[in-house]
Structure 1
Amino acid sequence: MTQLQFNLNMDHLKDSVMNSNIDAVVKSTIVLVLNEYMEKERDEYLKVPAYDRSGERRDYRNGYYERDFMMSIGKIKLRVPRTRSGDFSPSVFERYKRCDKALILSMLEMVVNGVSTRKVKNIVEELCGESVSKSFVSSLTEKLDPLVREWANRPLNTAYYPYVFVDAMYIKVREHHKVVSKAVYIATAITEHNQRAVLGLKVSHEECYEAWQAFLQELIKRGLQSPKLIISDAHPGLKKAIKKEFVGTSWQRCTVHFKKNLIDKMPKKNMAEVKVDLKRIFDAVKVEDARKFKEEFIHRYEKNPKLEKVIDALEDGFDDGIQFLNEPTKYHMYTRTTNSLERLNEEVRRREKVIRIFPNTQSAFRLIGAVLMDYEEKQEKKRPLFSTN
């Protein structure tokens, strides 16, 4: 191991402490240590001390050059020794490169967590005493691309996902000097080990049958097996795509969206009791009970002309709204709605609001993918939703 020896000018050091701020003292000390360390490393590389002769000599000293080096305390200037052949390279820069990596990872983490590039720039300047451009921070985020791409294309045939949730949200993206709206498709699932997982992500021009079909086909190509149940809202294109791509899989209409649609068809006043009776239908534990409560609801309110549209919509969507009742009771609270995916969308939205408008589609895919990766990693560390016993 390289041994260090220092000849300190105590008067100079005392003056530095008394008349300078502590940051300057810390920087000066680090410069002293690193310069001495590199000098000793060169001696060990040459296998001969300065001014000595030896048959084991590997090379000759060739002076020094100055190099700026960024650390968490700021930028320091080092006196780097060199050899005539140029083969010698101090380990300092390799060893302390992890500091640079830590800084870069911290900057990426801030961006992923919704901190704007402008704020990240200001934070780095505050921490390191050095200014970095917003474009530099943006370029760092591109380091996420291969990680997100690998995650987004990972195989799905290593596990079975019995319950799959799909939904779309909208974001703003700059495209050809214009700001356009784009749909972000996200698929999540409950695994056979009763843990939540994120299956896939896609950014598309619009929410339509063709786009939903392409998204589902990508999941299938990656190995997704037909689940027992797919839970979503009642978007016509999505319903058609599910029916086309997952033959034999039941579709569960999100009960929260369904009830809201029914309530929107009701008059605004004097509907409290009607809403309680409607809620009773979807709170049933068995399919038979749900059908019974539905028939009672219709019998009670069918003569009210103000509820005619409500009853028609209820009968039309009833079967799709109770498919979760065919699954074991312990799954009911998790499979009746897309609430879990809606909450994840809100988390994505919270990060997206800081950016407001993505500079391009790839940047949107990168950031949202990183958020989803972070979410899934946290889910893997959590306990299962309930015991498998």
Structure 2
Amino acid sequence: MTQVHFTLNVEEVQSIIEHSVKDDVSKNILTTIFNQLMEEQRSEYIQAQEYERTDSRISQRNGYYERDYTTRVGTLELRVPRTRDGGFSPSVFERYQRNEKALLASMLEMYVSGVSTRKVSKIVEELCGKSVSKSFVSSLTEQLDPMVQEWQNRSLTTTEYPYVLTDVLYIKVRENRRVISKSCHIAIGITEDGYREIIGFMIQGEESEDTWSTFFESLKERGLTGVKLVVSDAHKGLVAAVRQSFTYVSWQRCQVHFLRNILSKAPKKNAKKFREAVKAIFKLTDIDFARTMKNALVDEYIDQTKYTEACETLDAGFEDAFQYTEAGQGYNRLKSTNLLERLNSEIRRREKVIGIFPNQASANRLIGAILMDQHDEWVGSNRKYLAMDR
């Protein structure tokens, strides 16, 4: 994504604050900022500042045209710069509107289809600042779908992702007059430099070995390479698909899910010592030491009937739950899918406004827009998820 650098005219903003009525302050400040951003973006496109003479210039300024731009604080009246060659198109604010477009389009599709609640129209008015027509919804949908599809199918050949975290999110979709559950498969890749990216998502009819295989094969077809470790929960279809699609790749069982599974099989009462001992094992990063503690705990409790199932579960899944100590170089953040859980929570927060998607395209649109924005935020940050300097 292009990074635009410019100097904000602070005096002009301060003047607006001093002379505007309270209700118009936010709108006027945003209008000034967006106009300045677009002005600077035009200069970067032309490769010359105003009145500057330079051999690198590729076009000339050609005035402005007026455009209304809808935000949560109301409709802004912007002066959009033009160039003589007609090739300049400002894009600095498109990312900030993308999610709002997706949510608005999905809600209005529900409203038009007759499957929404009475609150939907009020939410739409609050987001738009004015009433909207069906043609406006159609316009938003036409603009957003190609963006999501292009990003969803983009090439992954330029980067290797040694670590992949994956999970599924269930959503409700209206199909043939019925409300059915669909699975949204999501994958996050960690690059060789330790940065995180959302490398793919796919909405399918269920979670099974076939759907996971379809998802993994689509990632490979787009150029996913260099995978050393896949982190996920222990869904049988998912695990089987990992082993089928990623030969010679280790699988890390999410420790958070695994620990929860073990403790659910332990007694609810008078089992504090056992529970604390199990939790202590999963705090270790040395697999040999953890294995020794595990064996000792199993030997102590497995013959006690009420602990037998929990011990057997721990013993059977232990090795898979500590693969990050070897294939993942011991990075603690690779021992669970917590990163994906947080991402899913953000999708749930937005999806909760809708409840039931009117169709699969609407679900793909909204979830795709949310994931695109999160991806852009991660890629645009200098903060590494893993300190890959070992």
TM-score (norm 1): 0.70
Cα pair 1:226 1:249 within 8 Å, conserved = no
CA contact (8 A) 2:169 2:185 kept: yes
Alpha-carbon deviation of 1:296? 1.3
Indicate the percent of aligned positions where both proteins have the same amino acid.
40
Match of residue 62 from structure 2: none
Matches within 5 A, 1:75-86: none
Q: Corresponding residue for 1:338?
A: 337
User: What number of residue pairs does the alignment pair up?
Assistant: 302
CA contact (8 A) 1:107 1:137 kept: no
Alignment match, 1:229: 229
Deviations 1:145-196 (A, max 9, x none): 1111111111111111111011101101111121111100001121111111
Deviation (angstroms), 1:290: 1.2
Q: 1:2-41: per-residue Cα shift (whole Å, max 9, x none)?
A: xxxxxxxxxxxxxxxxxxxx9xxxxxxxxxxxxxxxxxxx
- Identify the range of structure 1 (266-275 vs 336-345) with the bigger mean alpha-carbon deviation: 266-275
2:169 and 2:76 mapped to 1: Cα distance? 43
- Between the aligned partners of 1:312 and 1:330, the Cα distance in structure 2 is 25
What does 1:45-84 correspond to in 2, within 5 Å? 71=68
Q: Deviations along 1:30-79, whole A, 9 cap, x unmatched?
A: xxxxxxxxxxxxxxxxxxxxxxxxxxxxxxxxxxxxxxx97469899xxx
Q: Which residue number corresponds to residue 184 of structure 1?
A: 184
Which residue does 1:369 correspond to in 2? Answer: 368
- Note the alpha carbon deviations across 1:81-114, whole angstroms, 9 max, x for none: xxxxxxxxxx9xxx9x989x99998764424468
Specify the structure having the higher radius of gyration (Cα): 1
CA gap of 1:75–1:193, structure 2 versus 1, over 3 A, is closer
Label 1:98 to 1:203 Cα distance change in 2 as closer, same or farther (>3 A). Answer: same
- For the residue of structure 1 that corresponds to 2:252, the secondary structure is strand
SS at match of 1:247: coil
**Structure 2 counterpart of 1:10:** none
Give, in whole Å, the separation in 2 of the partners of 1:220 and 1:134.
Answer: 39
**1:205-240 C-alpha deviation (Å, 9 max, x unpaired):** 011111111110000101111511000011111111
Distance 2:330 2:92 in 1: 43
Taking the aligned partners of 2:163 and 2:96, their CA distance within structure 1 comes to 35
Q: CA shift at 1:314, angstroms? A: 1.2
Is the alpha carbon distance of 1:71 and 1:98 closer, same or farther for their aligned partners in structure 2, counting shifts above 3 Å?
Answer: farther
Match of residue 110 from structure 1: 100
Report the aligned-residue RMSD.
3.2
Cα deviation 1:103-139 (Å, max 9, x = unaligned): 998764424468944356413664xxx5323663354
The change in CA–CA distance for 1:373 and 1:71 in structure 2 (over 3 A counts) is closer
Q: Name the SS for the 1:170 alignment partner.
A: strand
More displaced stretch, 275-284 vs 193-202: 275-284
Instruction: State the SS of the aligned residue for 2:181.
Output: strand
- Alignment match, 1:148: 148
- The 1:104–1:178 alpha-carbon spacing in structure 2 relative to 1, beyond 3 Å, is farther
Which residue of 2 is the match for residue 122 of structure 1? 125
Given that residues 252 and 336 in structure 1 are in contact (C-alpha distance below 8 angstroms), is that contact kept between their aligned partners in structure 2? Answer: yes
Distance in 2, matches of 1:131 and 1:280, equals 57
**Structure 1: segments with no counterpart, 5+ residues:** 1-21, 23-68, 77-90
More moved, 262-271 vs 321-330: 321-330
- Give the Cα–Cα distance (whole angstroms) in 1 for the partners of residues 152 and 138 of structure 2: 21
Match of 1:208 in 2: 208
Q: Secondary structure at the match of 1:160?
A: coil
8 Å contact kept, 1:252–1:322:
yes
Q: Distance in 1 between matches of 2:76 and 2:283?
A: 63
Q: Which residue of 1 aligns with 2:19?
A: none
Query: How far does residue 380 in structure 1 lie from its aligned partner after superposition?
Result: 1.3
Structure 2: give runs of 5+ residues left out of the alignment: 1-23, 25-65, 109-120
Distance 2:279 2:151 in 1: 40
Aligned amino acid, residue 173 of structure 1: V
**Residue in 2 aligned with 1:355?**
354
1:304/1:222 CA distance change after superposition, 3 Å: same
